């Protein structure tokens, strides 16, 4: 059963201006591993985290650095959740999170489907 869906679109140039203007932004939004990536990849991960929050129906108990976007050997992205964020997902009966991300033409997009049982 689909519990929630979320989508988010990020203007990469606007995202870059925000990062330059607010140097402390990256450590608040991304794990140490994620911070090593190129800006367009960070914009897509930002979109993925926003899309996850939308799929969950809100951000209560969810922390940005407890959401990491990993990649399978095939390149397919997936969420790596920890702390209270992982607990929130489990409490909502979510057993699987499906993630798709892309970036092109100055935009980054992510789509999330939360699947599971109703809690």
pLDDT digits (tens, 9 = 90+) for 65-115: 999 999 999 999 999 999 999 999 999 999 999 999 999 999 999 999 999
For tokens 């964020």, what's the residue?
85
Share of the chain above pLDDT 70, in %: 98
For the sheet with 94-104, list strands across it: 2-11, 107-116, 94-104
- What is the domain count for the chain? 1
Task: Kindly provide the b/e burial profile for residues 56-91, where b requires at least 16 CB atoms within 10 angstroms of the residue's own CB.
Answer: beeeeebebbbbbbeeeeeeebebebeeebbebbee
**Token representation of residue 81:** 């959740």
* DSSP letter string, 22-56: -TTHHHHHS-TTGGGS-HHHHHHHHHHHHHHHHHH
**46 touches 15 (CB < 8 A):** yes
Which of the four pLDDT bands, split at 50, 70 and 90, describes residue 23?
confident
Please count the other Cβ atoms lying within 10 Å of the Cβ belonging to residue 46.
24
**Token representation of residue 19:** 């990062």
CATH at 31: 3.90.470.20
Containing domain of residue 55, as a range?
2-116
Which of the four pLDDT bands, split at 50, 70 and 90, describes residue 117?
confident
Alpha-carbon distance 90 to 97, whole Å? 11
């Amino acid at each position: 059963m689909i519990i929630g869906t979320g989508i988010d679109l990020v203007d990469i140039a606007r995202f870059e201006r925000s990062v330059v203007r607010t140097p402390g932004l990256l450590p608040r939004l991304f794990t140490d591993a994620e911070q090593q990536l190129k800006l367009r990849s960070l914009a897509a991960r930002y979109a993925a985290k926003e899309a996850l929050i939308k799929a969950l129906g809100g951000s209560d108990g969810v922390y940005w650095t407890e959401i990491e976007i990993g990649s399978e050997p095939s390149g397919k992205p997936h969420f790596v959740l920890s702390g209270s964020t992982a607990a929130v997902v489990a409490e909502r009966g979510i057993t699987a999170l499906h993630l798709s991300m892309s970036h092109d033409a100055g935009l980054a997009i992510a789509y999330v489907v939360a699947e599971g049982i109703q809690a």
